[in-house]
Each structure stands twice: as C-alpha cells, then as structure tokens.
Amino acid sequence: MEIINASKNIFRSPSEETLEKLMRDSFLASEELKNLSGERKADFLVAIGEEILALGDNLVNAAMNESGLPEGRIVGERGRTVGQLNLFADLIREGSWVDATIDTAIPDRQPLPKADLRKMLRPLGVVAVFGASNFPLAFSTAGGDTASALAGGNSVVMKAHEGHPETSDWVALAIQKAAERTGMPENAFTLVHGSGATVGQAIVKHPICKAVGFTGSEYAGRILFDLAAQRKEPIPVFAEMGSINPVLILPEALEENAEDWAKTYAGSITLGVGQFCTNPGLLLIKDGEKANLFAYNLAKAISDIAPAKMLNGKVKNGYDASLANALEQKGITVIGESSTKANNANIEGAPTVASVDARTFIANPELHKEVFGPYSLLVRYTGEDELLEAIEALSGQLTATVIGSEPSLEKYSQAIDALLARTGRIIFNGVPTGVEVCPSMHHGGPYPASTDSRFTSVGTDAIKRFARPVSYQSWPQSLLPDELKDENPLNIWRLVNNSLSTEKIN
C-alpha cells in the first residue's frame, strides 16, 4: 500500500513553499484546537489509540522490519503508546491540569483595592516534535511528545525519524483517521519526512513554531536548542538527550549479595541491546575483595549474553566508535565481553564491560560520555572522598541508583546528595531501565540529560511543557474560560484564595 497516497498530511522533503503552507495550515488548526473542550480532545486521543490498534500486523511488521526490534517488544511498545494516549485523555477530561488559580477582588482593601485575578495554563500553538530512533512508537509519531502536545490543545508538526519512515507513515494515517472520526481540524497533525539538517531545522526556525519536543543525542538536541535560542523570537526546546545513569553499589550490598546484583545488572546493561536512555553505563564500587567478586560475576554473566541486532547500521557504527574511544583511554581494562561471535558484525552489538580506577575516571572527561549500546564501566573508588569526587565530576543524568541497605544510606548521605543534585530520578535497590508512565514519573534531569530539568517527557506532567500561564485581571465572567468562572462548570480542582476547592464562588 502506498501510504503517502492515502494521507493528505504526510510530506516528503517539502519545498520551501510547501513547508510555508503546511506551517500556516498547522497554525490555523492550533487556533481551533486551543478552544476545544477537554472532552473533545480526549475523544481524539482515544480514537488515535483505537486506530493504531486497528492497523494490526501492518504496523507491527513495519516497525520490526525498520527497527530490528522483536515482535514482543513492538507489541509492548504499541501498548505503551496507546496507554499514554488514554492517560492524557483521562487527564484532560478531568481538567484540573490547567492549574486554575483564583484570587478574588477586595475592592475596599487599604491602602489600595485588590483586583480580581485568575490564572490558568493555555496552549502554546504549533509544536514541532522529533521522533526517537530507539522507540519507533512510544517516542515517535504518536508518542508522548505528540500526545501531550495535542492534549494541551496544540497542533503538531512531526519530523519523522529516518530510521523508521514506513512505521511513521502508518501511525500518521491512524492519526488522520482519528481526526476525521472526531471532527478535529484537518491539520491538527502533520508528518514531515526529510533531512534533520534541512527540513528539521527549517521547522524549528519557522516563526510559526512555538516549541520543540526532542528525544535523541546530545549533539542533535544541542543544535536544535541553539537554533531556537537564535531566533528573533526564541522558543523553548524540551530535549531529552540521554545519560550514563550512575549506579552506586554500597559495600554492604556486596557483602550480602554481590553475585545476584552482578547478574541483575548484566541483564539491565544488555536489555534491548543497551539501547535505552536509562541504560546503566557507570557502576561505582569500593575497591577490595568483594569488588573483585562482583566484577568476576558481572564479567561471567556478560560473557554468556550473545550479541544482538541493534536498531540499524548507523546506531551500530555509533556504538562501535564510542566503545572504541572509551576502551582506548589510558587505564581502561576490559573485564568481560560476549563469548559468542556475532552472526552479523555490521548490525549486532556485542556486550562489553570495562573497569577503571576512580582517580583515572575523575581526570578523564572522555570516560564520562555515554556509550549507546550494551556497555558499562566499573569505577573502583578507595574511599568516600574519592567517591564524592567521582560523582561531582559527572554532568546531569536522567537517573541515579543506590544499591545497599537502608541504614547505610545515612553513612553515604554526602554521596547520595551529590547524585541527587545531578539527576531527575533516584532509584533504591533496583535498575534504571524501565520507565513507568504515570503522574509521579520524572524523565528528565540537569543538562545534558535534558535542556530543562524542570520538565518531564514521560507522565502526565509532560503536558505542561507545551502550555503557558495566562492571568486574567478583572475580566467579565461571561468571557472567562470555563476553568476560571465562578460557577466552575467543569467541576475541576482550583486554588481559590489559597484554598484548593471544587466549589463554586459565591
């Protein structure tokens, strides 16, 4: 099937004139979307999920063929994608996400009267979204960025990832059908194929674009961030750019369970061939006999894991290059690698773990870089001061993990505080791989994990990236948004004169 012929909102390497028209059409759609009720927008999101499921094997097979991911992973990711859409639908149906805040007038206040002030979040307009290579569904065409932007009343111009163009087309077709079913503006969603360096940058630079959602490398994310900042009207770029996700394994954990933790982390390091932004790429461990035992068991477990197919040749080449750079650094020792030869060395990534002393690690920034693939570096520290230095040498992270007993946390409070200052999510006795989609999840962190650590790309708070507060002063009741009217017709939670309430204002 020629999907391109079935959809009016898919463009391939559009000309300057075509890009201008599609951006203007998207703007007109955003003007309609911003005034639609939460119920209408929720129906749209649910319909997108239904249409994605209706694609059946066409979508699953396309995603498998283009990404190299197995059927189980694609089916699971499809479920997550639909679940995200339904989660945002529930959020906007309920409506309290707009953070309505009301301070009623006090006309007889002395020495000056107090005006009536009412504030809520409003959509930004046209949002540019860039798909991720490692999640062809959940972080792509109808993924979390698109779902949260549409939920907030914005239109979306999606830059398709070149790694899965057919998959993107199928999902775009599902979105178009859902828009038609639910009476949404025709150009609420637009998919654009083409080079990131030309088409992608042109979208970000276009004056109609009001925000950017991006998941990918620090290199590409920084280009978009800088472009957006250099515009006549700078706009926010919410880029999630990965990290090495340090894991602090306290001595007590090694005393009690070194072998089990080694097996657990061998599985986490190689999960999805290491192609997760939360892959544990750094293990901090106190040098000594128990560290030797942990390293032995980790290396043994890694040797038993066969190389596996990565997303595509470009990702595999990137893994090879960054791995080679890491392993050629002074003081690095490979302690474990897969004992199985790759069937296809051009696409399969081989699991590898290496070791280095903390002093060498601290002094060499090359060792602080992410290696996107099934790799992790074991850093051996000799004392708590050296551990603290190693943590303080790190930049921002998406996650940090502490393995140990509850009583030991106080003893290492300085190191834990240093980790907390550098991460968006801190985990106790677990693994960082696996990101729950729920209101309490924060998937972001200090730069370069993300460009704005105050915001998450996963969970319901992701909607707040694509909205801005607007305050209405002394505005007539009849012209206020329903969320701010005295009657509270939507029955949402509001902060009224410093008290949370769903009651009407008398």
Report the run of H or E that residue 157 belongs to, with start and end. strand 155-159
Check residue 14 and give its pLDDT.
Answer: 95
What is the DSSP code (8-state) at residue 208?
A: T
Does some domain include residue 494? no
From 66, 166, 252, 277, the catalytic residue: 277
Nearest to 215 by CA among 244, 189, 238: 238
Does some domain include residue 154? yes
In the residue annotation, 240 being an active-site residue is answered as yes
Are 257 and 282 in a shared domain?
yes
Are 250 and 191 in a shared domain?
no
Check residue 471 and give its pLDDT.
Answer: 98
Mean pLDDT by 10 residues, the chain (506 residues): 61 96 98 97 98 97 96 97 98 98 97 97 98 96 98 98 96 97 97 95 98 96 97 98 96 90 97 97 96 96 97 96 98 97 95 98 97 98 97 98 93 96 98 95 97 97 98 98 98 98 96
Check residue 242 and give its pLDDT.
Answer: 86
Check residue 35 and give its pLDDT.
Answer: 95
HEC string of 112-142 equals: CCECCEEEEEEECCEEEEECCCCCCCCCCCC
CATH number at residue 342: 3.40.309.10
Domain of 93? Answer: 10-241+454-466
From 240, 252, 348, 483, the catalytic residue: 240
Last residue of a domain, one of 410, 428, 446: 428
Are 183 and 216 in a shared domain?
yes
Report the run of H or E that residue 84 belongs to, with start and end. helix 71-94
Are 55 and 70 in a shared domain?
yes
Are 360 and 311 in a shared domain?
yes
* Domain total of the chain: 2
Does some domain include residue 424? yes
Are 280 and 317 in a shared domain?
yes
Distance (Å, whole) CA 127 – CA 130:
10
Are 232 and 129 in a shared domain?
yes
Spatial CB neighbours of 197, under 8 Å, sequence gap ≥ 6 = none
Are 348 and 460 in a shared domain?
no
Are 285 and 401 in a shared domain?
yes
| CA 391 and chain centroid, separation | 23
Check residue 6 and give its pLDDT.
Answer: 53
Are 230 and 256 in a shared domain?
no
Backbone angles phi, psi at 210, to 5 degrees: -115, -10
Does some domain include residue 487? no
Are 219 and 275 in a shared domain?
no
In the residue annotation, 209 being an active-site residue is answered as no
CATH number at residue 35: 3.40.605.10
Spatial CB neighbours of 288, under 8 Å, sequence gap ≥ 6 = 251
Does some domain include residue 322? yes
Q: Give the residue carrying structure tokens 């502490």.
A: 402
Are 299 and 320 in a shared domain?
yes
Distance (Å, whole) CA 304 – CA 296:
13
